[in-house]
Structure formats: C-alpha cells, structure tokens
C-alpha cells in the first residue's frame, strides 16, 4: 500500500517551535505523517515539487463571517473600494434595482459614511434611484443600515412616519417627524424583520461561495462569529443546518468552527434550585441535549457562544469611557451604548460559562471592555473553570490596565489587523488625538504574554490574510498615515497569530495551526517568502496554492 503525497522542495515555516523549518512534508489520510526525509519518496503515490516556494500552515481566520462573505458576493457591493462617493453608491443601487424583479427587495452592504462625507445615504436619496423597490443597505459594521421609503412601507411605516426605535437602538427623524432612513443597532429590526427570511439552502449557497473565495486567499479554517440571531447576527434559527447542508453537498471547503449566538441558548432548568441556594448563583444556559463548545469534528464544530456587548467604533456606537470626538449631525456627549443591559449580559455570559461553554463577547469600546472583564472575572470566581479561554472579540480600544486584566484572567482578545488600514482614519476621527493611541493594539497584547489569534471580521474589511499581515506589520491607514506605530509586530508574530494563535483561540491547537506529524495537512504555498520580502511589499505576496487535508483546494502545483 502506498502513502498519499510527498510535498518536496518547499521552504516550510512549520510554526512548530521544536522544528521550525522543513523542506518536505509527507501526507496520508489528510494528516502529516513525516517531515523532511523521514520517509522515502518511493513510499508515496504522488510526489509534488513545490519549486522552492515558501509554505506556511493554512491561514485560520479567527473571526470571519463566512456566510456574509458569501452573501456579499450576491448583493450590491457598497464598500468604499467599490463605491468611493455617494454618487457612485447611488448609481450601484440603481443598477441593482433595475436588475431586480418588480417588487423584490434590493439589498446592499459595506458602505462606510466616513468615505461619504460623513453622511449616511438617506431614504430620499435612495427613493430617487430605487424604481419602487424596497431597499435595505447594511453599513460595513453591520450595526446599522439605511432603508428607503418603500422598505419602511413594507415594514408598516407608510411615509416613514411613527418609527419608534426600541431600546438599544436609534431611528433618527427629520423636522417633520419622518425617519431619515438610518436605523441603528436594535432599530435595524424595524425594517429587517420585513425582509423575507433566509432559508437553509440560501445559507448553504453563501457558505459555498464564501469558502471558495477564502480558499483563493489561503484561508483553510475560519471561526464564524455568530449564527442564529437574525436581528443581531447570522440569518435564521437554522443557520447551522445551512452549514451542515453545505458540508453534505461538498460546498463547505474551509474548516468551520461556528458560534451560536447567545440568545439561541436557554435556561437549563436549574433556576429554582439556584434561587434556593442563595444570591450570586446564575442558572446554566445551554442548547438542547447539552450540546456545547467542541461538539462536532474537524470540518464543522461548535465554537464559543457569541454575544454582542456594544456596537461599532467607526459607526460611533461602541460604548466608550469618554465622549467621541464631536462631529456635526451628532448630539454632544456621545459615548455609544451597550446592546444589552449589563445585568442581562452577566446572566447570559455566566450562565453559559457555568454550562461549560467557551464564551466570546464582542467588545469594541473601553467602557464595554470593563463591563465584560468584570463579568468574566465574576464567572471564574463563582464557577472556576481552568483553561476556559473566553474571548473578547475586537478589543478596539483598550488601556494598559485593561490589557493586564485580559492577560491575568486568561482571556483571549481577538484583534483585526486589517481595520488599521481600512478603518483607521475613521477610528482616529472618532477617538480624537488624545485617545487614538488606545486603538487596535496588538503588540501590547503579545507583550502581556497572550497567545493572540489573527482575524479579519470579513466582509467588514478584506478577508485577505496577506493584506492583514501587511497591516499588522506596517500599521498605516488607507490615507498613508502611521497608525500607532509602536503597536507594530513582526511577520513571524503575525503568521503565528494567523495559524497557532487562531487554533488555540478555539481549543484546536493540538491538531491544527502547525506542521508536524499528526497535524492536519492544511498549508499554503506563497508566490514569495513573506519572511524575507521588504515589509512594505508583504501585501503584494499572493497565494500560489492552498492545500486542505493534503489535497490541492486552490491553485496549481507541479505533480
Ligand atoms: Zn464580526
């Protein structure tokens, strides 16, 4: 019997500290079985020559909305890269409306008012280009969006009148009391609830389109940060069925660890007993049959339970210790807001912790971070659980004391390097000169001794790992300005984060993230060696081939 494949003549950066470099990797049944010349080529059915290419373990995006990446491929693309001005945005919307069947909803996503003269599109502007179709455009933060008059009408608000925002949301109105179109945070549901639901088959299609796009970028694993809460995040209560359908159909081509949104969990029936046992106890929160983080296999498994605490930094809704730098159109003293009252966050997070879940809490502002740190500290005090690896997603704004606390509580912050270039100018405007140095910190997290993952939050920004690594190393905004350069990290640190760190952040480092016998045979051959190219050229390096489970999943290799 022959073994599967021997990949020879590569320049492997294994990310295994005991054996950091190798020139060959032997693969059988999807796993690595040998390095270098440990097994002779004659034992393998196929021998593939990597022609000296630099090879790293497959990139693992620790916070990637795979299904939204796919969805963005089938909706109007309004990201600044595609629509640089309001006129271009409106022209794109008009094209999408003209292409849509009569009466069908037209959706777009990715716009950023920071690139549109600090103005969101208005319902009136959209009405002029929408030819009667209801239109919903999602902001690139996904924490807000804008609707046109036809969309408000479908949602039961003729003439955009009497639109009352629920708590935790905002629906600004003009002098006549008509909603201007923007719906923030929980108020998004006022219109989004009227959009026909996304079915299991739709989610499977998105997952397929998204995974193909990511394979081209060298991404072989992702963690999907939030499913099952259509008002907040994800598409429907059956999101995981969509993933499973994609897998059954062979469309799930990157490995996925998925986070159910915390509102999909429910009390596990010990509330009464808790009441009897006194104050401080919190009822366990879980899914039926006791499922929790880790259930599944190396292709599709349950990760942490996800919950949002606050909003977006550039959308100026993240919860801050200090006022946002004031801009026109905004009331004085904006500090953002929490999505849930702190007590409800506490009940849900501690309840999930107690039921054995890893918990991932979105926290962008420093005030939200304080709330979350307190909750995780209390959770461990009440119900100690070693190596829980609870996560704090984004940590966009953090002080030194907060970083020390993250480290001492064993929490994993999940930063996004690509925010620096694509969102950095907007972040600096939101925070002002005095507080910008607290933004998008990465080196300080490493210096605190934390094993950080790397992630993109795609499609909020590009999911391209090489662009992300470029930003982690160079830290320049799209306008060319240095952005807190003291937080630059090395290529080696960035690659480790993208591989070992991201696997560790979901308890998968024992079979993923480094290249050694027994590990998954997921790796990426690059067109140039990112460890040796000049720092400002990292973003020009491309993926030549992506191998998943020992098989070529994208690109070309010489057999
Ligand atoms: Zn996200």
Q: The tokens of 395 are what?
A: 């940590």
- Answer CATH for 77-192 from 1.10.150.120, 3.30.465.10, 3.40.50.970, 3.10.310.70: 3.10.310.70
Q: How far is the CA of 266 from the centre of ligand 1 (A)?
A: 23
Cα of 454 vs centre of ligand 1, distance in Å, is 13
What is the distance in A from the centroid of ligand 1 to the CA of 9? 38
Expressed in angstroms and rounded, the spacing between residue 518 Cα and the centre of ligand 1 is: 32
- 537, two tokens: 């050229």
pLDDT of residue 275: 58
- In angstroms, what is the span from residue 482 Cα to ligand 1's centroid? 25
CA of 257 to the centre of ligand 1 (A): 14
Q: Is pLDDT of 240 > 60?
A: yes
Ligand 1 centre to CA of 240 (Å) is 17
Q: 65 CA distance to ligand 1 centroid (A)?
A: 6
- The confidence score (pLDDT) of residue 272 equals 59
Question: Rounded to the nearest whole angstrom, what is the distance from the C-alpha of residue 223 to the centroid of ligand 1?
Answer: 10
Mean model confidence pLDDT for the chain:
94
Ligand 1 geometric centre to CA of 459 (Å): 9
Q: State how far the Cα of 392 lies from the Cα of 460, in Å rounded to an integer.
A: 18
- Looking at the predicted structure, is the pLDDT value of residue 75 above 90? no
Give how far Cα 59 sits from Cα of 154, 219, 306, 378, 512, Å: 42, 5, 22, 34, 10
Q: How many other C-beta atoms can be found within 10 angstroms of the C-beta atom of residue 451?
A: 17
Q: Which CATH number is associated with domain 305-504?
A: 3.20.20.140
Ligand 1 centroid distance, CA of 312 (Å)? 10
Residue whose C-alpha is closest to residue 270's, from 297, 240, 290? 290
Strands of the sheet with 3-8, listed across from one edge = 31-35, 25-28, 3-8, 44-49
Q: What is the CATH number of domain 3-57+517-555?
A: 2.30.40.10
Which residues sit with Cβ closer than 5 angstroms to ligand 1, an ion?
A: 225, 457
Q: Is the bond preceding 170 in cis, omega lying within 30 degrees of 0?
A: no
Higher per-residue confidence, 76 vs 471: 471
Report in angstroms the alpha-carbon separations of 457 from 40, 114, 144, 240, 393.
42, 18, 16, 19, 10
Ligand 1 mean position, distance from CA 460 (Å): 7
More confident residue, 388 or 197: 388
Q: Which of 479, 487, 188 is nearest to 317 (CA)?
A: 188
Q: What is the CA radius of gyration of the chain?
A: 24
Cα of 269 from ligand 1 centre, angstroms = 31
Which residues lie closer than 8 Å to 21 by C-beta, 6 or more apart?
11, 12, 13, 14
User: How far, in Å, is the centroid of ligand 1 from the Cα of 339?
Assistant: 15
Taking the CA atoms of 410, 414, 417 and 423 in sequence, report the sign of the dihedral they define.
negative
Give residues with Cβ within 8 angstroms of 450, minimum separation 6: 406, 407, 412, 413
- Ligand 1 centre and the CA of 413: distance in Å? 13
Distance from the alpha carbon of residue 226 to the mean position of ligand 1, in angstroms: 8
Give percent of the chain with pLDDT exceeding 90: 84
C-alpha distances in angstroms, 167 versus 21, 170, 231, 316? 55, 8, 14, 17
| Per-residue pLDDT tens digits for 408-424 | 999 999 999 999 999 99
- For residue 374, give every residue at least 6 positions away whose Cβ sits within 8 Å of its Cβ, in sequence order, or none: none
Q: Is the pLDDT of residue 37 over 80?
A: yes
Separation of CA 210 and ligand 1 centre (Å): 15
* Residue 279: per-residue pLDDT: 52
The answer to whether residue 505 scores a pLDDT higher than 70 is yes
Calculate mean pLDDT across residues 270-292. 75
Distance between Cα 308 and ligand 1 center (Å): 9
- What pLDDT is stored for residue 276 in this prediction? 55
Residue 436: count other Cβ atoms within 10 Å of its Cβ: 18
Distance 140 CA to ligand 1 centre (A): 10
**Ligand 1 centroid, distance to 82 Cα (angstroms):** 21
Kind of pairing, strands 551-555 and 543-548? antiparallel
| pLDDT class of 558 with cuts at 50, 70, 90 | confident
Question: How many angstroms does the Cα of residue 435 sit away from the middle of ligand 1?
Answer: 23
Q: Provide the residue ranges of all domains of the chain, joining segments of one domain with +.
A: 3-57+517-555, 77-192, 305-504
113: CA distance to ligand 1 center in Å? 18
The pLDDT score that the predictor gives to residue 326 is: 87
**3-state SS class at 542:** coil
| Res 277: pLDDT | 58
Q: Measured in angstroms, how far is the CA atom of residue 326 from the centroid of ligand 1? A: 26
Angstrom CA distances, 301 to 147, 262, 296, 340, 403, stand at: 35, 16, 4, 27, 29
Q: How far is the CA of 492 from the centre of ligand 1 (A)?
A: 25
Q: Mean pLDDT, to the nearest integer, of 185-211?
A: 92
Inform me whether the pLDDT recorded for 309 exceeds 80: yes
Distance from the alpha carbon of residue 547 to the mean position of ligand 1, in angstroms: 26
What's the CA-to-centroid distance between 66 and ligand 1, angstroms?
10
Distance (angstroms) between ligand 1 centre and the Cα of 225 equals: 6
375-385 average pLDDT score: 96
C-alpha 64 – ligand 1 centre gap (Å): 7
């Amino acid at each position: 019997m022959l073994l599967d494949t021997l990949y020879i003549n590569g320049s492997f950066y294994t990310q295994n500290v005991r054996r950091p470099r190798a020139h060959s990797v032997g693969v059988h049944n999807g796993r690595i079985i040998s390095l270098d010349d440990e097994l002779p080529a004659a034992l393998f059915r196929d021998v593939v020559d990597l022609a000296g290419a630099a090879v790293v373990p497959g990139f693992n995006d620790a916070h990637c909305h795979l299904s939204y990446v796919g969805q963005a491929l089938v909706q109007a693309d309004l990201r600044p890269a595609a629509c640089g001005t309001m006129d271009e945005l409106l022209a794109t919307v008009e094209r999408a409306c003209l292409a849509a069947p009569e009466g069908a909803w037209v959706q777009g996503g990715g716009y950023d008012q920071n690139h549109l003269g600090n103005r969101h599109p208005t319902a009136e502007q959209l009405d002029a280009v929408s030819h009667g179709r209801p239109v919903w455009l999602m902001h690139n933060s996904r924490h807000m969006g804008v609707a046109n008059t036809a969309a408000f009408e479908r949602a039961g608000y003729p003439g955009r009148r009497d639109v009352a925002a629920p708590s935790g949301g905002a629906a600004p109105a003009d002098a006549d009391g008509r909603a201007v179109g923007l719906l923030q945070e929980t108020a998004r549901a006022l219109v989004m609830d009227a959009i026909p639901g996304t079915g299991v088959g739709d989610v499977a299609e998105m997952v397929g389109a998204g995974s193909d796009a990511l394979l081209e970028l060298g991404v072989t694993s992702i963690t999907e940060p939030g499913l099952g809460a259509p008002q907040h995040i994800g598409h429907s209560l059956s999101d995981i069925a969509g993933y499973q359908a994609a897998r059954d159909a062979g469309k799930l081509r990157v490995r996925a660890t998925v986070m159910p949104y915390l509102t999909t969990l429910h009390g596990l029936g010990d509330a009464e007993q808790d009441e009897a046992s006194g104050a401080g106890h919190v009822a366990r929160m879980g899914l039926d049959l006791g499922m929790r983080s880790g259930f599944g296999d190396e292709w599709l498994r349950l990760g942490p339970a996800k919950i949002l605490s606050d909003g977006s930094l550039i959308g100026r809704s993240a919860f801050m210790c200090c006022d946002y730098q004031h801009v026109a159109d905004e009331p004085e003293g904006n500090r953002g807001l929490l999505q849930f009252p702190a007590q409800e966050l506490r009940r849900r997070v501690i309840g999930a912790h107690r039921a054995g879940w890893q918990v991932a809490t979105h926290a962008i502002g420093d005030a939200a971070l304080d709330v979350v740190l307190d909750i995780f500290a209390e959770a461990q005090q009440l119900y100690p659980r070693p190596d829980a690896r609870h996560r704090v997603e984004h940590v966009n704004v953090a002080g030194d004391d907060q970083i020390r606390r993250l480290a001492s509580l064993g929490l994993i912050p999940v930063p996004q390097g690509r925010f620096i270039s694509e969102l950095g100018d907007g972040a600096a405007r939101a925070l002002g000169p005095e507080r910008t140095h607290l933004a998008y910190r990465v080196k300080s997290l490493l210096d605190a001794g934390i094993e950080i993952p790397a992630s993109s939050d795609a499609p909020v920004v590009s999911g391209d790992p090489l662009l992300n690594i470029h930003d982690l190393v160079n830290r320049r905004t799209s306008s060319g300005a240095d952005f807190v350069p003291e937080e630059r990290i090395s290529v080696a640190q960035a690659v480790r984060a993208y591989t070992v760190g991201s696997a560790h952040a979901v308890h998968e480092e024992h079979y993923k993230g480094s290249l050694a016998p027994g590990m998954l045979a997921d790796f990426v051959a690059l067109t140039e060696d990112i460890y040796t190219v000049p720092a400002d050229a990292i973003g020009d390096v491309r993926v030549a081939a992506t191998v998943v489970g020992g098989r070529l999943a994208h690109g070309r290799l010489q057999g």
